[in-house]
């Protein structure tokens, strides 16, 4: 994990302690921390009815004033965050952005073109739009991994890898390789496998286990029946059973033309706050 670059998406209310903890962890790994301070736009333009059957678009009279006030607050907070980072002499920088919807998605994607992993501060859950759009941008429009509920610089002793043989899961394995290498144990969890063998005759999970073993990972393949649970419930139950401190899994989206809505399991795992999760797509 030495010299890795991480995007840390934060809000104005992200605590100094959270920022300092991340800064210290990044410094211990000689990593670079790119703090991106986000906020949603003030109330967006609304429509008002005119005297005719058509309506005219309008802005609240004080909308620009609200925007400037919010921007000033963010710039002030950014100065404070820069001072915190400087106090730890960590390699870091701070950026400020205000947006909504697709703007946030594209911002997160562009910022993540040149980082190893992006992670979301827990406080961003208070703004569902930011949490959702940043997650979409990183996962579906950038090459980086996305981590929630945890610090990407933290050491992980036991990692559960949810494997289903898909491209997304394989991508997650590549993005999470350094966590597998550092862990004392990697449990490849095959949830509710259809049979002991796949259609090509290979043992479920055997190929990915062999690949990880060649890298030097300490791997165990386990097949877990769902037993009436949803996939996300099963993943969490198994992670709890083995004492995992990180879950690695593929992320899925649904749309006719492109990923614009998270799949059910992905959405549920994003919403839970019990386990750190590293997503790959």
Closest CA to 250 of 181, 178, 170, 180: 170
Is residue 175 packed enough to be buried (19+ CB in 10 Å), middle (13-18) or exposed (0-12)? buried
- Confidence tier at 7 by pLDDT (50, 70, 90): very high
User: Which residues touch 25 (CB under 8 Å, ≥6 apart)?
Assistant: 31, 151, 153, 154
Burial tier of 265 (Cβ tally within 10 Å: 0-12, 13-18, 19+): buried
How is residue 272 written in tokens?
């839970």
The residues, ordered by sequence, that sit 6+ positions from 234 with a Cβ below 8 Å of its Cβ are 191, 192, 224, 226, 227
38-75 tens-digit pLDDT: 998 886 555 544 444 444 556 667 888 888 999 999 99
Q: Which of 129, 16, 9, 36 is nearest to 83 (CA)?
A: 16
| Topology match between the domains 5-43+66-148 and 158-280 | yes
CATH of 5-43+66-148, one of 3.30.450.30, 3.40.50.620, 3.40.50.300, 3.40.250.10: 3.40.50.620
Top-level CATH class of 158-280?
A: alpha beta
pLDDT confidence tier of residue 226, bands split at 50, 70 and 90:
confident
**Domain layout of the chain by residue ranges:** 5-43+66-148, 158-280
Q: What is the pLDDT of residue 257?
A: 45
Q: Is the pLDDT of residue 208 over 50?
A: yes
Q: Residue 153 pLDDT more than 70? A: yes
Q: Would you state the pLDDT for residue 132? A: 92
**Average pLDDT score, the chain:** 87
pLDDT grade for 211, boundaries at 50, 70 and 90: very high
Average pLDDT over residues 131-154: 94
Cα dist from 26 to 5, 20, 155, whole Å: 9, 10, 12
Confidence of residue 24 (pLDDT cuts 50, 70, 90): very high
User: In this predicted model, what pLDDT tens digit does every residue of 74-93 receive, in sequence order?
Assistant: 999 999 999 999 998 999 99
Q: What's the rounded mean pLDDT across residues 131-159?
A: 94
CA neighbor of 1 nearest in space, from 165, 221, 225, 151: 151
Q: How far apart are CA 91 and CA 73, in angstroms?
A: 24
Q: What is the mean pLDDT of residues 252-267?
A: 68
The CB-side HSE value for 181 (13 A sphere, CA atoms) comes to: 11
- DSSP for residue 204: T
DSSP 230-272: -HHHHHHHHHHHHT-SEEEEE--EE-SSS--EE-HHHHHHHH-
pLDDT at residue 224, as a whole number: 85
pLDDT at 195 over 90: no
pLDDT per residue as tens digits for the range 104-133: 999 999 999 999 999 999 999 999 999 999
Adjacency order of strands within the sheet including 158-162: 91-99, 32-40, 5-11, 117-120, 145-148, 277-280, 246-250, 158-162, 185-191, 219-224
Residue 32 has pLDDT above 80, yes or no: yes
pLDDT for position 196: 53
pLDDT higher at 40 or 246: 246
Q: Give the pLDDT band (50/70/90) at residue 188.
A: very high
Nearest CA-CA partner of 183 in 157, 219, 212, 151: 157
Q: Cα–Cα–Cα angle for 118, 97, 60, nearest 5°? A: 140
* pLDDT band for position 20 (cuts 50, 70, 90): very high
- Residue 138 near residue 34, CB atoms below 8 Å: no
Measure the CA–CA gap between 92 and 24, rounded to whole angstroms: 11
Q: What is the pTM of this model?
A: 0.87
């Amino acid at each position: 994990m030495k010299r890795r670059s991480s995007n840390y998406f934060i809000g104005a209310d992200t605590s100094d302690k959270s920022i300092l903890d991340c800064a210290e962890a990044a410094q211990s790994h000689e990593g670079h921390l790119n703090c991106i301070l986000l906020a949603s736009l003030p109330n967006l333009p609304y429509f008002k009815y005119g005297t005719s059957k058509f309506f005219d678009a309008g802005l609240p009279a004080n909308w620009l004033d609200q925007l400037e006030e919010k921007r000033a607050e963010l710039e002030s907070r950014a100065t404070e965050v820069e001072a915190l980072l400087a106090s730890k002499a960590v390699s870091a920088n701070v950026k400020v952005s205000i947006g909504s919807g697709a703007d946030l998605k594209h911002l997160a994607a562009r910022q993540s073109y040149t980082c190893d992993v992006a992670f979301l501060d827990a406080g961003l859950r208070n703004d569902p739009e930011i949490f959702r759009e940043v997650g979409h941008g990183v996962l579906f429009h950038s090459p980086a991994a996305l981590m929630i509920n945890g610090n990407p610089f933290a050491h992980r002793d036991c990692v559960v890898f949810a494997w289903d043989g898909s491209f997304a899961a394989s991508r997650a394995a590549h993005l999470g390789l350094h966590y597998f290498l550092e862990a004392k144990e990697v449990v490849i969890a095959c949830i509710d496998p259809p049979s002991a063998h796949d259609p090509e005759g290979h043992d479920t999970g055997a190929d990915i286990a062999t690949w990880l073993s060649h890298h030097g990972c300490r791997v165990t393949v386990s097949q877990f029946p769902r037993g009436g649970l949803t996939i996300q419930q099963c993943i969490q139950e198994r992670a709890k059973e083995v004492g995992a401190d990180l879950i690695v899994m593929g992320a899925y989206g649904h749309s006719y033309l492109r990923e614009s809505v998270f799949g059910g399991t992905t959405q549920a795992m994003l919403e839970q706050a019990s386990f750190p999760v590293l997503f790959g797509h």
